[in-house]
Structure 1
Amino acid sequence: MKRWISFILHLAMIVILTSFGSYSVTKKEFPKVPDNLRVTLETEPTVSSEFDSIRETAIAPPFLGKSYNGFKEALAFKESQGRYQVVNTLGYLGKYQFGRSTLKLMGVYDTDDFLNNASLQERVFEVNVARNKWILRRDIKRFNGKRIRGIEITESGIIAAAHLAGAGNVKKYLRSYGKKDVADAYGTTISYYMKRFGGYDVSEIHQKRNAKV
């Protein structure tokens, strides 16, 4: 009896020791990423445009605040992702997407030269701002600082909307208090540009009648 009890105790001890010896816990440890190497992706509301399909691969313009340079680079990024040699499906050209008729009004007739001349494109944009400021001078004075359908009207918003839809359509929008809110062929509205590009300082560009390059 004693032999059987001793045998059973030894067998039980062997089973217990074997169980503990074969069981182990492996904890996976992942390297900690330093805070300065963490990347946060930011997205913006999409608007119907020809360039939405390449938005994810585009490089955003540098942060320039609410300066005039910040205004024109933000507008250019929306228009063409900031690319000088773009021609869209409707025939609008360059970094700021000018139509041929608008270019002719400002004295530019050679579209090939325009597409390949970055400094000319920047000059045309500046001239167009001066031109639209003159056309809309009374509306800028009358509506600047007011709200139309929840949107604060600013000089830069008015100029951006004129770039989108033309000064005449911006006059109609303002004087109808937002009722005549036209959109371009890709669905972008005057009110969207008013809001999107409001609050920039564009005072360094002065109004000029019949401005030309």
Structure 2
Amino acid sequence: MRKKQILKFNVLVAVLILVIAGSLGFSSLKKAKKNVHNINRVTEPLAYTVSLESSDVEETPMQPPFLGKSFNGFKEALAFKESRGDYFTVNSLGYMGKYQFGASTLRTIGVHSKSDFLNDPELQERAFIANLERNKWVLRRDIEWYVGRTFNGVKVTESGILAAAHLAGPGNVKRYLRTHGASGFADANGASIRYYMRKFSGYDVSHVEANKAAKI
């Protein structure tokens, strides 16, 4: 009888220990889960400082396509200066297209429709070549006499002369060269013969033929 009582007591103690241990384990587990949740909870908004000012962003200025000192390099650099290469633009003074031709120059080389010219890139390219050939004929002697000389700190080159003639017309360039730079010219934007001679110096335009009757 005494043995049975002892056995019951031991069983009761064992059950009590299991209940206490289970309670403690469950409480620890709840606490652990609560700690995990606290770790992942954002109690305050995160502060990011990102400047959106334009001064913080490096901007690459637009540049003409680099084609070296070839004829295509000359043509595209001049077009970029005139219109950023836009075939369909007209400026406030009425100059048109990629190379910014005026109506009187276009008539001289055989173009009489402004709308046809403005909407035809191929026609604009042909007009550029025809005008270049005509200007080279007008300035043929000046190219022979003055290339290699220096006026106003700028060395005279054939491509510089032809670029300046595109800007100012061959007559103004002829006067500039024959007065050794004393007779100047600047367009409405302040671009001068000297500036164009310097900016477009040294390109290969040797294959351009001088042609008095150049037309489209």
The Cα offsets for residues 134-185 of structure 1, whole Å up to 9 and x where unpaired, read as: 0000000000111112100000000000000000000110011111111011
Q: Per-residue deviation at 1:204?
A: 1.8
**1:144 partnered with 2:147:** yes
Paired residue type of 2:212: R
Q: CA deviation at 1:186?
A: 1.1
**Residue 163 of structure 1 aligns with which residue?**
166
Report the TM-score when normalising by structure 1: 0.73
Runs of 4+ in 1 over 3 A off after TM superposition: 39-42
Q: Return the index of the structure with the highest Cα Rg.
A: 2
Gaps of 5+ in 2: 1-56
AA matched with 1:138:
R
1:41 Cα shift? 5.9
Indicate the residue corresponding to 2:209 in structure 1: 206
Matched, 1:98 2:101: yes
Equivalent residue number for residue 128 of structure 1: 131
Distance in 1 separating the partners of 2:207 and 2:120 = 23
Q: How big is each residue's C-alpha offset from its partner over 1:72-92, in whole Å with a ceiling of 9 and x where there is no partner?
A: 100000000100001000000
Q: Which runs of 5+ in 1 are unaligned?
A: 1-38, 43-55
Identical counterparts, % of pairs: 59
Deviations 1:19-60 (A, max 9, x none): xxxxxxxxxxxxxxxxxxxx9866xxxxxxxxxxxxx5xx42
- Shift of residue 203, structure 1, vs aligned partner: 1.2
Q: Residue 172 in 1 paired to residue 199 in 2?
A: no
Size of the aligned set, in residue pairs, is 160
Matched residue type, 1:187? G
CA RMSD, Structure 1 to Structure 2 (Å) = 1.4
Using the size of structure 2 for normalisation, the TM-score is: 0.72
Q: Which structure dedicates a bigger proportion of its chain to helix?
A: 2
